[in-house]
């Protein structure tokens, strides 16, 4: 069973602080996806990292994929109250079933981020 | 553009009653379809996936079943709900080929 350990589970910070969320696995994934989810809604894809060592930036968010493609991190600079939400990492592996491929996502447990004004 | 719809958004059901949640995708053909369950504020657990009409695979043993009667319709069902079936159910789709999954807005199911 592939597991994805995400930490911390809860993060409560003041506006303007920096934070990092970690996602670690003993398994290699084809890619790793980061989602953000608001209460009562489905997860929304933020970024996909594919190449080992890859770094992607999305405004104040920086995503990094480990060299071995087993771990990833999300760093937020100068957090704002609008960043509050549930952040999920998910490891992607393309799997074949009966000659057709589908994408199997293994999710981390999630990080609930609260940014206080 | 592609869209995904789930309904109902919220459902309260007594223990032992049947269940039917629907998910439809528009704007794409032959998508892969997925049902997930999410505990409050936690990660998603894959329940079922389907690569085509009538093709359903289950990831975990459970009290639920899934069906895909049409290309872009995915249904999650149960004959008799248990208290442990409470949760947030999410439908998702992708086109395969290493493309990301897109999620619906979910159904909050409460069993009393």
More confident residue, B97 or A82: A82
Model confidence over A61-110: pLDDT tens digits?
A: 999 999 999 999 999 999 999 999 999 999 988 777 666 666 788 899 99
Q: Positive or negative CA dihedral for A77, A78, A82, A85? A: positive
Alpha helices in chain B (DSSP H): none
- Cross-strand pairs, A23: A6, A72
A102 touches chain B (CB under 8 A): yes
> Average pLDDT of chain B?
92
Q: In this prediction, what percent of chain B has a pLDDT beyond 70?
A: 98
- A 10 A CB-CB count for A28 gives 13
CB spacing of B92 vs A42 below 8 angstroms:
yes
Cβ distance B32 to A102 under 8 Å? Answer: yes
Model confidence over B68-85: pLDDT tens digits?
A: 999 999 999 999 999 999
Q: Band of the pLDDT at A2, cuts 50, 70, 90? A: low
Model confidence over A3-16: pLDDT tens digits?
A: 899 999 999 999 99
CA-nearest residue to A50 within chain B is B98
């Amino acid at each position: 069973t592939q597991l994805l350990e995400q930490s911390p589970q809860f993060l409560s910070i003041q506006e303007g602080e920096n934070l990092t969320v970690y996602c670690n696995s003993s398994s290699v994934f084809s890619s790793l996806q980061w989602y953000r989810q608001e209460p009562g809604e489905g997860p929304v894809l933020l970024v996909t990292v594919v190449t080992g060592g890859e770094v992607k930036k999305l405004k104040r968010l920086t995503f990094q994929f480990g060299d071995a493609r087993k771990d990833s991190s999300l760093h937020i600079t100068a957090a704002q109250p609008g960043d509050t939400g549930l952040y999920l990492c998910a490891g992607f592996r393309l799997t074949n079933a009966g000659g057709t491929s589908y994408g199997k996502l293994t999710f981390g447990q999630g990080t609930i981020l609260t940014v206080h004004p | 553009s592609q869209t995904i719809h789930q309904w109902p958004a919220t459902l309260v059901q007594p223990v032992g009653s049947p269940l039917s949640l629907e998910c439809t995708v528009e704007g794409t053909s032959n998508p892969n379809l997925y049902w997930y369950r999410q505990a409050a504020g936690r990660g998603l657990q894959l329940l079922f996936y389907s690569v085509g009409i009538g093709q359903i695979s289950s990831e975990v043993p459970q009290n639920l079943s899934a069906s895909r009667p049409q290309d872009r319709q995915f249904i999650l069902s149960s004959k008799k709900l248990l208290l442990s079936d409470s949760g947030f159910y999410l439908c998702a789709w992708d086109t395969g080929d290493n493309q990301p999954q897109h999620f619906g807005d979910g159904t909050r199911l409460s069993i009393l």
